[in-house]
Amino acid sequence: MRLELVINGQRYTIDGVLEDRRLLDVLREDLHLTGTKEGCGEGECGACTIIMNNEIRLACLTTAIQANNSEILTIEGLEKDGKLAPIQEIFMRSGAVQCGFCTPGFLISAYHYLKNGGSKDVDSIRHAVSGNFCRCTGYSKIIDGIQESHDLMSFEKNENSSKNSEKEATFIDLTTEKKQNSINSNKKNIFSVSTKEELCEFLKKYGSEAGILAGATDIIPSIRKGGEKRLYFADVSKIKSQFSEIVEDDKNIYIGAMATFKDIQHNPIIKKHLFELVHAAKTIGGYTIQAMGTIGGNIANGSPAADSVPALLIYDATIELTSLNSKREIKLSSFYLGYKKMDIMRGEFISKIVIEKKQFISTGFEEVGSRKAVFISKVSLAHSLKDEELILAAGSVSAFPKRLLEVEKIFLKQDLTKDTLLEYLSKDVIPLDDIRSTGEYRQKTLLNLLWSLRENLLKK
């Protein structure tokens, strides 16, 4: 493919790039912009953080086709007219840099945060760099450095685009370059779709061989680990904006399935009505993953640990599935059929999530896991209560996130004992045993979470 990019204000045209070549390799190998680092290649460390179209992005989880026609800022672009950005100056002076390998990623995350009006509040700063790991420092100089530079940074609007992109593009020809690497040696075919119809046709054509490259935060790590069997992927960058709107009417809230967790966190409608979803969105991965990962991808990936699902279950969400000529709606609670098995048909994709507005007496989302950022949650419990209607949903305890229908029946009965609760709980979930935690612990934890929730609810 021909890849057109504006990087740090400079236009580039690169011919003959493989669609599934990683943006990280384009930057480091084709353009020799080696400031962006590779620490893991799986979205976990943040060393490859860049800004793409004013959004934070991991270059290791971005393919060339997704980056096409975008504007990119890398560490090399922070310096303006031979002057360091204040944050670079402060990082250098204060000891935020030890071995320095994480530094470009942190600087980019910080720059993006400050540029987009991030506050001086330490917790917000920590959240903004929660997708970046440092193994050398104790993080304090990094956090302090961002805080210190808060008032010193100045940003021009559209600093990259207008004036510079008029300059002639640097042209690079890789057409005869046989040494190009792509994301994986099992060559995957990625197509860019421009309309909903194209997407549906694509999905219909390739059926179980097809996947949707939305945020790519599940797909690319899985391809890299050799776990992805599908061969055809549709890049939805071009239609993303159509399917990421969040709107409301008198009755319902409609969330476009391609909305990212960052969109969700900041959306006023969701903030007003769906507090637990905001909470879930903030706990997914680190900040970079939240900015890339979509809610549709989270639902469709079907992981037992998918964090948004318990939060959606307690609002009794409905999902809209779109195919070429029709649409259908289905309750999220009946969408999952087994481990990574879902009620989704050939040619369909998740287009929307619909949630009815309600006034709740109480809602909550609690999780227990042993590290704050970048963890896939261990045990989570969400609840909502409206008059007599109680919904309980748990994550990471069974093959898929689940409503606790049996427990719901007896949960608020006066004479309930912990043993009876356990009995009902055992009907709802068969605990998972995996590396993150033993099944027994999960069950015990869930039982304890339920018990203290019950005490709290009864008090009210």
Partner 1 sequence: MKKDLKQVNSSIPKIDGMGLVKGKPAYTQDLIPSNILIVKTLKSPHAFAKVLNVNYEEALKVEGIEAIFSWKDVPQTIITRAGQGFPEPSPYDRYILNEYVRHVGDEVAIVAGETEEAVEEALKLIKVDYEVLEAVLDLETAVGHSSIIHPEKEAFSMFPIGFDANKNIAAAYEMHVGDVDDVIAKSEVKVEGTYFTQAQAQVPLEPHNCFTYVDFHGRLNVITSTQTPVHIRRIMGRALSMPLKKIRVFKPRVGGGFGGKQMLHGELFCAMVTLKTGKAAKMIYTRKEVFESTCCRHAMRFNLRVASDKEGYIKAIDMDVLSDTGAYGEHALTVLMVAGSKTLPLYNKVEAVRFNGVVCYTNHTPAGAYRGYGALQANFALESLLDELAEKLGISTVELHKKNMISEGESSPIFKIMGEGSEGVDMNVESCKLDYCLDRSIELIGWENKYPRKEIAPNKVRGVGLAIAMQGSGIAHIDMGSAILKLNDDGFFNLLMGATDIGTGSDTILAQVAAEAIGISASDIVVYSSDTDLTPFDTGAYASSTTYVTGNAVRKAGLNMRKLLIETVAKKFKVTPEEVTFENGVFTTEKESITLKEFSTRLYYNEGLDQKQLVASDSYVGEQSPPPFMVGVAEVEVDTETGFFTILDYAAVVDCGTTLNPNLAKIQVEGGLMQGIGMAVYEDVVYTSSGRMLTNNLMTYKIPTREDVKKLTVEFADSYDPSGPYGAKSVGEIGIDTPPAAIANAIYNAVGVRIKTLPITPEKVLMALKLKEK
Size (the chain), residues: 460
Binding residue for ligand FAD (CB under 6 A) from 296, 310, 401, 431?
296
Binding residue for partner 1 (CB under 8 A) from 80, 93, 328, 413?
93
The dihedrals phi and psi of 351, each to the nearest 5 degrees, come to -105, -30
User: Does 134 help bind partner 1 (rule: CB under 8 A)?
Assistant: yes
Q: Residue 384, Cβ neighbours under 10 Å: how many?
A: 22
* Shortest Å distance, C-beta 59 to ligand FES: 6
Distance CA 358, CA 274 (A): 10
- Tell me whether residue 115 or residue 436 sits nearer to ligand FAD (CB atom): 436
Q: Which long-range contacts (CB under 8 A, 24 or more apart) does 112-121 make?
A: 112/51, 112/54, 112/55, 112/56, 113/146, 114/87, 114/146, 114/149, 114/150, 114/153, 114/155, 115/153, 115/155, 116/54, 118/150, 119/150, 120/147, 120/150
Residues 373-402 within binding reach of partner 1 (CB under 8 A): 373-376
Residues 350-369 within binding reach of partner 1 (CB under 8 A): 368
User: Does 191 help bind partner 1 (rule: CB under 8 A)?
Assistant: no
Distance CA 33, CA 62 (A): 16
**189-192, strands of its sheet edge to edge:** 189-192, 232-235, 210-213
* Shortest Å distance, C-beta 61 to ligand FAD: 7
Q: Hunting for tokens 């008090």 — which residue is that?
A: 459
Q: Interacting stretch for ligand FAD, rule CB under 6 A, among 14-22, 170-178, 263-271, 285-293?
A: 285-293
Binding partner selected for residue 73 from partner 1, ligand FAD, ligand FES, none, CB under the kind-specific 5 to 8 Å limit: none
User: Does 190 help bind ligand FAD (rule: CB under 6 A)?
Assistant: no
Binding residue for ligand FAD (CB under 6 A) from 218, 235, 276, 320?
218
Distance CA 416, CA 323 (A): 46
Binding partner selected for residue 289 from ligand FES, partner 1, ligand FAD, none, CB under the kind-specific 5 to 8 Å limit: ligand FAD
User: Does 436 help bind partner 1 (rule: CB under 8 A)?
Assistant: yes
* Shortest Å distance, C-beta 54 to ligand FES: 19
Distance CA 134, CA 76 (A): 20
Closest CA to 126 of 147, 107, 143, 148: 143
Binding residue for ligand FAD (CB under 6 A) from 36, 88, 298, 323?
298
Binding residue for ligand FAD (CB under 6 A) from 44, 71, 148, 320?
44
- Tell me whether residue 354 or residue 422 sits nearer to ligand FAD (CB atom): 354
